[in-house]
Amino acid sequence: MLARHQDPIAAIATAPGRGAVGIVRVSSPQDLSPFVQAICGRELKAREASYLPFKAASGEAIDQGLALLFPAPHSYTGEHVLELQAHGGPVVLQLLLARCMELGTELNLRLAEPGEFTQRAFLNGKLDLAQAEAVSDLIDASTEAAARSASRALAGALSSEVGELRDALIKLRMLVEATLDFPEEEIDFLQQADALGRLARLQARLEAVLDRTRQGALLREGIKVVLAGQPNVGKSSLLNALAGAELAIVTAIPGTTRDKVSQTIQIEGVPLHISDTAGLREATDEVERIGVARSWDAIADADVVLFLHDLTRVGLAEYEAEDAEIRARLSAVDPARILQVFNKADAAQASAAQGLRLSAKTGAGLHELRQALLQHVGWHATPEGLFIARERHVQALKHTREHLALALAVATQEPPALDLLAEELRLAHDALGEITGSFSADDLLGEIFSKFCIGK
């Protein structure tokens, strides 16, 4: 996609289906005046909406609508951009797009690939990479908090945080490089320039940004929660209680749930993707066997596993034996991802069971469960002031942290190896640059923008 970024492109920029308004967007590094004259019948004033007919090759009107011309560089992509706002019928928009493609043969106009308009905004310096990703995140936001946070990231909140880290790192690199270039000065660099102090302060600021970025990634990605346990411990009832709707069938018959049932809810703006799974036991038929296998697959992929227990059966030999078998198999799962939950507290006597007690039937303990889920994944921020982030941002910051830690180790050696210190600081700088795109491989850019919708 990068190799063709000089081609003029066109696409329908609104969602498929019927609607009141639909938009066809054209972006080109070349002047669009002849193109505009042919389809609109006259010239357009820059950034001023004009109501007019969109003309077919025969001169007949395809539709009546608004046309807006944004001359370069004052446009979304930084190129010359034409937007045609017509009625939102699929046939009308396809006719309008076909007319654009017909007129664009001399310009070598082609259909835009997913995310290509935003990619051009990035390549032309209108957005950095973190802001470009925020465009997609704002469109895909599943909660109000996620949408607000994506808007902050689009406005540059994450980029600003990373920029401050980058500036501090650049100053430190300059000091190290200057010492390497002029060894005859015999300046005790580490003491005179307070390099260790600068490095420690940089690490502290990085930890603060990393913490906020983790919170932002939770807002975007959400938490994958799997309800697991024996049949009839109340997994389906708990799913229904958390979702506030009758999503899963609840009966007293063991093995009612044969396949995974999923629902997304939100707690404090954080999306939770909750899956109810088939009861974990020795399957009685082929359908249940497949369901149980899928349950274990879901458990392996979960961020949090709610291991449900039935308080009314705790202490019964057969039940405890089955629970012990499940625990043994769960030993392969990171213990930090497992939350012990004891259900049916409304029908049980007092128990010494260690874990969260609740009743999916009455709702008692559900608030505590919601808070426990957030705490379990490290959520502690309030959505206000938070910017949305992606897992790749978190990983880039972690790589930066690793290189800064290595830099500190080198700097505290006797004598310090300044060439190695300079190299670790350079690698930390490169890792930071991956977030905003100042240092990015072409294949990374292709992967990011290919996940956008066409027309954006």
Residue 232 assigned ligand-binding role: yes
Residue 310 assigned ligand-binding role: no
For residue 177, give every residue at least 6 positions away whose Cβ sits within 8 Å of its Cβ, in sequence order, or none: 422
Question: CB of 236 within 8 A of CB of 263?
Answer: no
Residue 253 assigned ligand-binding role: yes
Residue 277 assigned ligand-binding role: yes
Residue 23 assigned ligand-binding role: no
- Phi and psi at residue 362, to the nearest 5°: -95, -15
Residue 233 assigned ligand-binding role: yes
Nearest-CA neighbor of 25 among 40, 42, 38, 8? 8
Residue 90 assigned ligand-binding role: no
Residue 255 assigned ligand-binding role: yes
Residue 235 assigned ligand-binding role: yes
Residue 328 assigned ligand-binding role: no
Residue 257 assigned ligand-binding role: yes
Residue 256 assigned ligand-binding role: yes
Cα 447 to chain center, whole Å? 13
Residue 237 assigned ligand-binding role: yes
Residue 25 assigned ligand-binding role: yes
Residue 83 assigned ligand-binding role: yes
Nearest-CA neighbor of 257 among 235, 281, 242? 235
Strands 9-12 and 110-111: parallel
Residue 252 assigned ligand-binding role: yes
Question: CB of 175 within 8 A of CB of 304?
Answer: no
CA distance 318 to 325: 11
Nearest-CA neighbor of 51 among 34, 36, 64? 64
Residue 362 assigned ligand-binding role: no
Which regions of 71-166 does DSSP assign to beta strands (E)? 80-88, 110-111
Facing residues of 272 across strands?
A: 223, 265
**Helix (H, G, I), strand (E, B), or coil: what is residue 334?**
coil
Residue 91 assigned ligand-binding role: no
Return binding residues for K(+): 232, 251, 253, 256
Return binding residues for (6S)-5-formyl-5,6,7,8-tetrahydrofolate: 25, 83, 126, 456
Return binding residues: 25, 83, 126, 232-237, 251-257, 276-279, 343-346, 456
Return binding residues for Mg(2+): 236, 257
Return binding residues for GTP: 232-237, 251-257, 276-279, 343-346
